[in-house]
Every structure is written in structure tokens, then in C-alpha cells.
Chains A and B, each alone.
Chain A
Amino acid sequence: MSKRVSNAVRYKNPLPIHPLELPELIIHNPVSWVYWTYCYITGCNTLQHKIHVDIVNNGIVHIEVRNQDDMKYLWENGFFGTGQLSRSEPTWYNHMQSRFQSEENGTADKKISLEQVTKFRRQQRTEFKKQRELVEAKLLNLRKKGELSPEEETRILEQEREKLRKFKDDQLALHLLKENRNDNLEEQERLLIQEAEVINENGEIRQLESLELMPVETLFLSFALDVLDVTPSDFIIKHCMDNSFDYTDELHKLLIQYSAYHHYRSHGWCVRSGIKFGSDYILYKRGPPFQHADFCVMVLDSNCSKPYTWYSTMARVCGGANKTLLLCYVERINSKEQILQYIRQGHISKAFNSFTVGEVIYKRWVPGKNRD
């Protein structure tokens, strides 16, 4: 219970801009009117200071937030950005610290981070695959010798299968053990710490992680919410157009990607990168800590037609992850020149006004399961 409540408190606000919290207005109490008005006038939705972003452009644009508090703030208020050394929430520093501390105290920390669990699972999986490959190679060898009848082969197959199954069971048992005591992992981690020189002269852990924002997130935070210290037109012109004044494919892609991003964000979705599922975005109803994402979004030009295999593979991947594939078609209504002019004059909102979105759901349909 406590965890859920703490999540609800921690992620109370869905956007970095918070609504004003005004005192209660009591009709028959004029003092409350005065106080209310005072609060209304002095209150303001904007942040105390704008969040600083570092933009590195060496061929690929990296937008980084390095201030620890800002990183935390952007994550907690709308789940913006991804920690470069973590899965998504920038938790690397905390993990390191707790690991470091537990090492110093000599007490084994029982908590393992999610990242470690995944890492461990993947290791086990590769080991299993190696074993399976060995079995396959062995069988092929026997086949090639030609001394094997199909019946014999089935018998050997059965044997090998049993072995593999046992191997897997052992792995699982091992995994359960590991969760209680993970000496081996700890050892590796210690080595890693020394290698990476994450500790400064004073024996403290250095914060190596920063929060990386997608270009569309940067644009949303600067243009729609105005919480970053870059202006949207600067950002577009400097970093996405390379100061050239052509309507490039790159610019077009940014514009349609942003149109889709803004569309979903502004209707309340928590939009995050969908690269895990090969899509442009995934949509969370509230955010990653609360529930799984329900939708994968692919942003397409409205006159785009891909080969069929593209659609079917996308649908397979999304279906396998229990998500619905949404094709978001963005249509440009104004001419390219017009849009360029808007951007140059700084009328970003007019530029984005030149796009409309239409949506289509693509889903595999199985006749046998839709018969009655």
C-alpha cells in the first residue's frame, strides 16, 4: 500500500508546469476573498528557474540535462527523458551509492536493481542458447555420418531435450538462489566500479549520468511548456536544420514527429520512445511506474506507403508485446515555403498548425477466432 501511495504522491503532477493551488474560497467570509485574490495575483505557473540543457551536436544531436535536481524533476513531472546509464529513470547514481555503502559496511544489500535482474536473465538465456547450439551441432554431426535411423534420432533427441530441460530448471533454481545472495554479481560490480573510476579524490561517487531528452521532448518542453532555457525556434534552426534554410527531409521528419508527440501529450498520454518495440512512440496512460503501455505508435507521412512486410512485422512485434499498433498519419496542409517562413519568423505555433493527424489501427486478424 505504502509504495502505491508514495508513487501517487511522487508523480502527482503529470506535467512540469503545475496548476496553482489556491486556498478555499468561502463566500460569506470576505477575508478569504482577499487572501484568495492575493494568492491568485502572486501565484504563477512558471518555474522559478528555467532548466538548463546542454546540446551537443557532433553529427547526432544529444540533448542532456545534467543538473541532478532537474533530472529528477523532469522525470517526476511527466516522465521526460531517459537516464543514460539506467533503464529509463536516472537511477544509476542511487544504485551505485547503495552498493558502495553496503560494501563498506560489509552487509550484503538484498535489493537488486531491475537493471541487474535483466542483465542476469540475459546472461542465463545466452548460456542456454549456447547449450542448445551444442546439441544441434552434435545431432547434425551424427546425421552427416549417416549411421542414424530416424527412430534412433528421435531417441537421442528425446535424451538431449531432457538434458536441456534440466539445464533450464537448474538455471531457474540458481536464479532464485541468486536473489538471496549474489556474490558473483557483487564481485563483478566491484571491478566495474574500480575500472570506471567513478570515485573522485574524496572517495565519493561521481555523477556520470545525465538525462537525455529526445528532440521532440525538448521541443515540447521549450515550446509548449517553456521550462527549458532554449527557445524553440533557436532549437529548430540551430540543431535540426543546421542553419540551412531549406525544407529538408530531416526538418519534415522532426515536424511530423513533433505533431504526433504533441497530439498525444496534449490529450493526456505519457509518450515515451518506442524503440524497444521498433516503433516511434509508446503511449502510457499515466506513466511507466503505473502500468504497461497499451499502444505503439508509428508516425507516417499521410501519403506514405511501405511494403506490406513492414506493416506485418510491426504488427507482430507489437502483438507479441500485447500492445496495439497505431499508425499515426500526419498530413501537411500548408506549403513547404509557408512553413519555412513561419519558422524563420519564429511563429512556431503557426508552423505546427499546418499539420493534422489521422489515426489507423492495424491488427492481425485470425478468421478462426472471429467466427462466432
Chain B
Amino acid sequence: MSTATNQDTDLNLDEDEVIQDWSDISKIQNDNPILSIPKRGEKDYEPDGTDIQELLLYRAKKAMFDTLENSVRGSTSKSQVKGYYIPDKHIAMVPYAKGNFVQSMGETDKDGTLWLHFFEFLYLAERGTITPFWKAYGNNVELPLSIEDLYSYFKTQKEMDNFSIYAHLKRLGFIVRSSDQYIITKNNTSFYPPMNFKSYTIGSMRNIINRISSTFTYTGISLFNGIIFSQWHFYLRRYRSSPDIYESLNKLISYHKIPHSITDLRHEYSSLKRSTSNSTPTSLHITFNIWKPNPTFKKKYPELPDYQVVTYNKNMTNQSFPTFNELEALFRSLDYKFNFIEHSSNTDFWNKNTYNNGVLREDILNDLTNNARNKNKQPKIVTKKPTENKNKKPGKELPPHIQQLKRLKNGYRSFLLAIMDNGIVSFAKISEADFGSENVWYVPPPKGTIGRPNKNWRKTNKSKDNHRKEKEQSEIK
């Protein structure tokens, strides 16, 4: 039963809801005793006051501490990297930075010094990648710092929460950067092209037209509704198909229009730029940009982030879960890889639609490769492209009703809400949805024939297969 539905509708929609199958692991256990994973005991749900439970708990704890105690920590003096905390600015600097972390963390200035945010500094210190020192500005005294010292430098609870979330995501392999703070230069990567006068005026014209037309449609609709929902209406009008009936019904409740395409997004952005006054004040804002692990990440010219993270502490009394207006404000402030846009899975698409500090990313990359070629070096980016293309499956067109379901289930703009609950981090993906612009009504087939409403798109043998599936489903229901 469930397999039939999965094949029909699922298609990678609910990957994270799939329950893991452990039966294979138990098989390994039976076959080969050497490979077997240690068996876990029965779960104890609450303290039962017995010594035996205490003993079990003690053993488990001891096993963990022993593992930590016996492992070698620290770094060899050769590869030690010193980092200096600068108290008056609450940042840190690493004069001679080396290591993989330089690629994706902090900001490097012209002299090659790496500047780190405090959360980055603490993360690296905690991992043992850099050795932390205290340094007053312009002072030559160095004092070694412990991790406890560093933790005491947190200014607010919020900062500490953000650090925990940052460290959590970093340890899982994501590239995480602050979305609003910067140390040296504000590196602005945006989906939106820089505003010039032309787009400004065109935008405002469109805005005025929209406003006028919307007032007209509003009064029009309320007049229309007065007729549709009157008692005599079904005596006056004759509907010849169910869609007609639905069309007349769905004018009653208006719904929020949300951007679906590049044009919608850009238009909303430009109209927002002009009227900054109506932004709703909210305690929540985007804190981190995160990218999936990517070895070619460039912190100077980053791609658009894959996700944007809003952090939220569930136990703080001054914070509450965002209301709809606050959510809307958050959606409007998003600037990431809007993966719902058509053709956005194409590799070149994002280079053509990303602006690094106002310059089209494609141009930057071309310049970089040209420079590299002039210097007789390997043109890295050019060789990279074809391999990425190979990973893409050949464009398989999904049937329209599945595409629609996918749109409905995934929604449009989305952000990640990182929830901090007494040190435990969990995530929720919050997306704008639009059920108002999709219609799912069933169109009865013309008289005499009974079949699937959308049988046209598939070959007959496949549709037979579907008939069977649907039959199975209906029998079970």
C-alpha cells in the first residue's frame, strides 16, 4: 500500500520522514560476530530508585569520560596557529593563518591577516585548531586563554545561543557565515541586481498601475460576490461544468499573493526598497547564511547561500514564535538560492542571477578564469563545470499533477528556524505556501468514458499501471 502511494506521489518529497530500516544491521550482526555493533540495553524511561539502574548509568558515563580522557588532545608546536582575542572589539585576529578553515571562515585583509568573529574564534579554539590568546589593542602582552575564559566573554544569552547553533551546523559540515555582521568589508551577495534609475522609475509606474487595478478588482469582486452568494443565484445562472461552479466560489476569500518567479521577486524587492517604512518591527531576523559542503567555496565571492537561518530561543520570555506578519517580514528579507524558480537547477542559472557586491557573478568568474589563463595556470572553473553537469539527471518532465503536488508541498520562499531549547538545537523549515493559486478540482470525464482525468500525458501501458495502483488504494481505504 504505502509503496504504491510513494511511487505515485512522493518522489523525494518526504525524504526526511522516511523511517530508517535497521533490519539490515541486525543481519550483519547475525552473520559476522566480529563486525557486530555493541548491543544496547533496554531503554529506562524514568528513575526507578534501584541500585542496578544507578550502576548502569555510571558505567555508561564512565565509558564516555574514559574515551575523552585517553585521547590525545592539543596540537604539535609546528602546526600551532595562534589566535588573539581583541577585547574592545569583541573579535579575534590570526596573523599567520593556515589550515582548511581559512577558506570559509572569517575575513582576510590585504596583509593576509585573518579576522574572526568571536563565535568563529571560539569554535576553532574549542576544536583545537587555533590556540587562543588575549591581547589588548596595541599591546604586546600575550596571555593564554582557556575555553572557560572564552565562554565568559559572551555578552548576551542570544550570542551564546547563536554560537551553539553555529557550532552545531559547522560540526555537521555546513559552511556557515554570519548574514549581517562584518569586520572589514561588507561582502554583499544578492539575488537582486543593484538598483538604477531606470528600474526605479519603471518599478514605480508598475506599482501605481497595480494599486489602481487592485482597487478596481476589489470593488468588482465584492459586487460579484453579492450576486453569487444570493439566494436566487442558482435560478439565474446555469453552470455547465463543475469548474465553472468552483470558479464562482473561489472569489469570496482573498489570499496573499506571493512571488513565484524571478519577475515577481524582483518586483516585490524594488517596491519594498522604495517604501522602507512599512517593515514590521520584529525580534527575529536572519542570523546565518549556510551553504552545503562545497570544496570550491570562495569567501570573497560566495555563491548565494543554500539556506538562511533564523535563531530563536524557546525559553526566553522576551521572544515568542513569530506571528504571520513577522513571518512575512522574514520571507521578504530572504536573499538566497530561491530553489523554486523554474530552471534553477541549471548550474549556470545562479551565476547569471547572483550579484557579488553589485557585479554579476558570471562576469567575476569569467575575469578570474581569464586572469588565471594569462598566468598560464589551470583554468579551474572551466574544467569544473562539465563534471557538475554530469551529476544532473537528464531533464525528466514530471506529470502536471505531481508537479503541482510538489509545488504545494514544498512551498515557495523558505527559511530555517533554529530552535534553542536548554542547549538542544532543533530545526524547522518554514515556507510560504500558496494554495490560492492552485486548483485541484476533479474534472469529470465527458459522458460515457471513464478514465483518469490526465491520461493524455502518459502512454497507455503506464496508465494501466496507475489504474492498478489506484485500485489498490481505494480498496484499502
Which of B246, B253, B438 has the most CB atoms of chain A within a 10 A radius of its CB?
Answer: B253
Bitwise, B41-83 to A at CB < 8 A (1) or not (0) is 1100000111111011001000000000000000000000000
In the complex, the answer to whether B442 meets A268 with C-beta atoms within 8 Å is yes
Query: Complex Cα distance A179/B419, Å?
Result: 48
Q: Is B225's CB within 8 Å of the partner chain A?
A: yes
In the complex, the answer to whether B229 meets A371 with C-beta atoms within 8 Å is no
Which of chain A's residues 4-31 have a Cβ closer than 8 Å to chain B?
4-5, 7-9, 12-15, 17, 19-22
Instruction: Tally A residues with Cβ within 8 Å of B.
Output: 95
Bitwise, B285-325 to A at CB < 8 A (1) or not (0) is 00000001100000000000001000010100000111111
In the complex, the answer to whether A17 meets B234 with C-beta atoms within 8 Å is yes
Q: Is A263's CB within 8 Å of the partner chain B?
A: yes
In the complex, the answer to whether A366 meets B321 with C-beta atoms within 8 Å is no
Q: Is A278's CB within 8 Å of the partner chain B?
A: no
Task: Given A268-B442, A312-B426, A371-B173, verify A349-B16 contact (CB < 8 Å).
Answer: no
Q: Is A66's CB within 8 Å of the partner chain B?
A: no
**B432 nearest in chain A by CB position:** A360
Q: Is A157's CB within 8 Å of the partner chain B?
A: yes
**B290 nearest in chain A by CB position:** A367
Question: Which residues of the partner chain A approach B328 to less than 8 Å between Cβ atoms?
Answer: 358
**A143 nearest in chain B by CB position:** B50
Which of chain A's residues 290-306 have a Cβ closer than 8 Å to chain B?
290-292, 294-295, 300, 302-306
Q: Is B17's CB within 8 Å of the partner chain A?
A: yes
Task: Given A269-B440, A356-B256, verify A308-B419 contact (CB < 8 Å).
Answer: yes
Question: Which residues of the partner chain B approach A368 to less than 8 Å between Cβ atoms?
Answer: 172
Interface pairs (14), CB distance under 8 Å:
A3-B475, A45-B237, A144-B48, A150-B59, A262-B253, A268-B246, A268-B439, A294-B409, A305-B322, A347-B226, A349-B225, A353-B254, A366-B16, A367-B169
Q: Is A57's CB within 8 Å of the partner chain B?
A: no
In the complex, the answer to whether A263 meets B436 with C-beta atoms within 8 Å is yes
Q: Is B427's CB within 8 Å of the partner chain A?
A: yes
Tell me the dominant secondary structure on chain B's binding face. Answer: mixed
**A309 nearest in chain B by CB position:** B314
Bitwise, B440-477 to A at CB < 8 A (1) or not (0) is 11101001001000000000000000010011011101
Q: Is B385's CB within 8 Å of the partner chain A?
A: no
Query: Complex Cα distance A153/B52, Å?
Result: 9
- A53 CB, nearest partner CB in chain B, Å: 17
Bitwise, A246-274 to B at CB < 8 A (1) or not (0) is 00000000000001101111111100000
Task: Given A3-B471, A143-B50, A288-B477, verify A44-B321 contact (CB < 8 Å).
Answer: no
Question: Which residues of the partner chain B approach A356 to less than 8 Å between Cβ atoms?
Answer: 253-256
Q: With contacts A312-B426, A361-B411, A361-B431 known, what are 20 further pairs, Cβ within 8 A? A: A12-B444, A15-B246, A19-B239, A19-B245, A20-B238, A45-B237, A144-B48, A146-B52, A226-B233, A226-B234, A263-B250, A263-B253, A292-B477, A303-B325, A312-B428, A324-B408, A355-B253, A359-B433, A361-B414, A364-B428
In the complex, the answer to whether A146 meets B51 with C-beta atoms within 8 Å is yes
- B11 CB, nearest partner CB in chain A, Å: 13
- B14 CB, nearest partner CB in chain A, Å: 6
In the complex, the answer to whether A367 meets B433 with C-beta atoms within 8 Å is no
Q: Is A60's CB within 8 Å of the partner chain B?
A: no
**B45 nearest in chain A by CB position:** A136
- Contact partner of A259 (CB less than 8 A), chosen from B59, B174, B253, B419, is B253
Q: Is B268's CB within 8 Å of the partner chain A?
A: no
Query: Complex Cα distance A303/B324, Å?
Result: 6
Q: Is A336's CB within 8 Å of the partner chain B?
A: no
- A160 CB, nearest partner CB in chain B, Å: 9
Question: Which residues of the partner chain B approach A309 to less than 8 Å between Cβ atoms?
Answer: 314
Q: Is A115's CB within 8 Å of the partner chain B?
A: no
In the complex, the answer to whether B450 meets A5 with C-beta atoms within 8 Å is yes
Instruction: Tally B residues with Cβ within 8 Å of A.
Output: 96
Query: Complex Cα distance A17/B430, Å?
Result: 37
- Contact partner of B14 (CB less than 8 A), chosen from A269, A286, A312, A322, is A322
Query: Complex Cα distance A265/B14, Å?
Result: 25
In the complex, the answer to whether B253 meets A7 with C-beta atoms within 8 Å is no
In the complex, the answer to whether A224 meets B229 with C-beta atoms within 8 Å is yes
Q: Is B396's CB within 8 Å of the partner chain A?
A: no
Task: Given A322-B14, A352-B253, verify A362-B222 contact (CB < 8 Å).
Answer: no
Question: Which residues of the partner chain B approach A349 to less than 8 Å between Cβ atoms?
Answer: 222, 225-226, 228-229, 252
Query: Complex Cα distance A363/B430, Å?
Result: 6
Query: Complex Cα distance A307/B209, Å?
Result: 41
In the complex, the answer to whether B324 meets A358 with C-beta atoms within 8 Å is yes
In the complex, the answer to whether A364 meets B427 with C-beta atoms within 8 Å is yes
- Contact partner of B433 (CB less than 8 A), chosen from A226, A231, A360, is A360
| Complex A-B, nearest 6 residue pairs according to Cβ-Cβ distance, in ascending order | A268-B441, A266-B250, A266-B249, A358-B256, A329-B324, A359-B433
In the complex, the answer to whether B322 meets A311 with C-beta atoms within 8 Å is no
Q: Is B130's CB within 8 Å of the partner chain A?
A: no
- Contact partner of B222 (CB less than 8 A), chosen from A20, A288, A303, A350, is A350
Which of B51, B235, B408, B434 has the most CB atoms of chain A within a 10 A radius of its CB?
Answer: B408
Question: Which residues of the partner chain A approach B213 to less than 8 Å between Cβ atoms?
Answer: none
Q: Is B21's CB within 8 Å of the partner chain A?
A: no
Q: Is A315's CB within 8 Å of the partner chain B?
A: yes
Q: Is B5's CB within 8 Å of the partner chain A?
A: yes
Query: Complex Cα distance A353/B250, Å?
Result: 11
Which of chain A's residues 169-194 have a Cβ closer than 8 Å to chain B?
none
Q: Is A201's CB within 8 Å of the partner chain B?
A: no
Q: Is A370's CB within 8 Å of the partner chain B?
A: yes
Bitwise, B415-436 to A at CB < 8 A (1) or not (0) is 0100101000011111111111
